[in-house]
């Protein structure tokens, strides 16, 4: 790939035509720099570049030769042959759409130069006719679920028992099992995403003047929240709502972390002091869920999903407050997370009716004798 934007390496030489690979490389390099200018992360940019290269390799064509039909063939292959999910297909289509929008923009010289050099121009190949539709209730989203209250209790009890079992067996891994057990409780106790959880630091906890009974763990500052496109990681402060979660963290900081040797600021470090990997936590989670034979649909993100569901449908917190707790810009996003239990509707109806009756004179409403509510003459 050519690194000099606007270079002339693709121009024809006396013994050969224009270098198409070099020109394609310059477009990719320009797109890469444009994305850095828009503050996208390196991992996102590299993934998008790889996605475009994979599309070009599949079609065996250059961007100025692509057609919507090529896109149809490629995404059909990804869906039917490779078995990728709808969400993944949508992400790949977005990559191609963004690349084509950049390459065909009048703000850049690529399309004009392409026409003069190769006699062809580039066009958008992701259109309303072949773009995957976004559906909130997609099959993939319906497979995920929250823990039931008894399930989350069983899961945490099993995690605690596993720590004791490993310690009693005098095998290595007891400290790591303790770390992961506390990590799962923190993910649920403060409604955290996977990456937010792994990068927590001891110094992120502080006391709350409004809730002094939580001690030094009344507020959790989340520094690595999910960012929107082109923006840095979002930060937020999460108020502690569960005393047992604060106690678990305090016990780990006082008695667990010191066993790793030097004082470490990371809340859940590896034995070498690094950030615990997603794979480590995921393997532990899956092994516990399998050992308990829990119904399908649970994952680590399900701990966050369960926090939202339980705080709103069981603890009766206001959904706007919980939306702020988990870092959602819109409350509507939070309601998608909320998956009430089967008997929630009946319990909610009973609660509301009881509240309304208590507010009245204590007399139950009588059924009217006529639809109008007036007595017959």
| pLDDT number for residue 363 | 46
The predicted model gives 13-17 an average pLDDT of 54
Residue among 284, 314, 315, 311 nearest 299 (CA): 284
Residue among 163, 49, 190, 37 nearest 108 (CA): 37
Residues 206, 219 contacting (CB under 8 angstroms): yes
| pLDDT number for residue 358 | 56
| pLDDT number for residue 136 | 43
The predicted model gives 21-44 an average pLDDT of 89
The predicted model gives 58-72 an average pLDDT of 94
The predicted model gives 123-137 an average pLDDT of 74
The better pLDDT of the pair 286, 331 is held by: 286
Residue among 130, 120, 121, 119 nearest 96 (CA): 130
Q: What percent of the chain has pLDDT over 70?
A: 80
Token pair 């250059």: residue: 62
The predicted model gives 194-210 an average pLDDT of 93
The better pLDDT of the pair 155, 358 is held by: 155
Could you write out the DSSP letters of every residue in 263-330? --SBSSB-TTSSBPPHHHHHHHHHHHHHHTTPPS---THHHHHHHHHHHHHTS---HHHHHHHHT-SS
Query: Is pLDDT at 220 greater than 70 in this prediction?
Result: yes
Residue among 89, 31, 33 nearest 63 (CA): 31
Model pLDDT for residues 145-184, shown as the tens digit of each residue: 889 998 999 999 999 999 988 888 878 889 999 999 999 9
The predicted model gives 351-367 an average pLDDT of 54
pLDDT band, residue 1 (cuts 50/70/90):
very low
The better pLDDT of the pair 334, 300 is held by: 300
Average pLDDT across the chain, whole number: 83
Model pLDDT for residues 221-251, shown as the tens digit of each residue: 999 877 766 667 789 999 999 999 999 999 9
| pLDDT number for residue 357 | 57
Q: What percent of the chain has pLDDT over 90?
A: 48
pLDDT band, residue 356 (cuts 50/70/90):
low
Query: Is pLDDT at 2 greater than 50 in this prediction?
Result: no
Query: Is pLDDT at 50 greater than 50 in this prediction?
Result: yes
The better pLDDT of the pair 76, 5 is held by: 76
Residue among 203, 247, 207 nearest 222 (CA): 203
CB atoms within 10 A of CB 334: 24
């Amino acid at each position: 790939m050519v690194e000099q934007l606007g270079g002339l390496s693709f121009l024809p030489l006396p013994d050969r035509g224009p270098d198409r690979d070099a020109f394609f490389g310059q477009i990719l390099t320009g797109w890469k720099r444009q994305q850095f200018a828009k503050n996208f992360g390196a991992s996102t940019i590299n993934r998008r570049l790889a996605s475009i290269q994979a599309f070009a390799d599949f079609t065996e064509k250059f961007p100025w030769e692509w057609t919507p039909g090529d896109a149809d063939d490629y995404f059909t292959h990804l869906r039917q042959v490779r078995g990728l999910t709808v969400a993944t297909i949508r992400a790949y289509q977005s990559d191609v759409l963004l690349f084509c929008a950049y390459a065909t923009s009048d703000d850049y010289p690529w399309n004009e130069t392409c026409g003069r050099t190769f006699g062809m121009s580039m066009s958008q190949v992701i259109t309303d006719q072949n773009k995957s539709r976004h559906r909130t209730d997609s099959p993939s989203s319906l497979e995920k679920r929250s823990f039931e209250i008894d399930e989350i209790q069983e899961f945490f009890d099993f995690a605690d028992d596993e720590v004791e079992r490993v310690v009693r067996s005098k095998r290595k891994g007891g400290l790591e099992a303790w770390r992961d057990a506390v990590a799962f409780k923190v993910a649920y106790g403060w409604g955290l995403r996977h990456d937010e959880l792994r990068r927590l630091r001891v110094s992120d906890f502080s006391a709350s003047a409004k809730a002094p009974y939580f001690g030094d763990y009344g507020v959790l500052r989340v520094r690595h929240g999910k960012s929107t496109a082109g923006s840095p990681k979002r930060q937020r402060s999460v108020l502690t709502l569960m005393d047992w979660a604060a106690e678990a963290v305090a016990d780990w900081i006082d008695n667990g972390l010191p066993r790793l040797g030097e004082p470490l600021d990371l809340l859940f470090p590896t034995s070498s002091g690094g950030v615990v990997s997603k794979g480590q936590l995921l393997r532990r989670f899956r092994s516990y869920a399998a050992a308990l034979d829990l119904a399908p649909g649970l994952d680590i993100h399900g701990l966050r999903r369960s926090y939202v569901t339980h705080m709103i449908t069981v603890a009766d917190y206001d959904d706007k407050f919980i939306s702020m707790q988990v870092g959602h810009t819109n409350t509507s996003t939070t309601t998608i997370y909320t998956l009430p239990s089967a008997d929630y509707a009946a319990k909610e109806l009973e609660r509301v009716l009881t509240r309304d009756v208590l507010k009245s004179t204590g007399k139950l409403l009588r059924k009217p004798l006529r639809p109008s509510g007036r007595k017959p003459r």
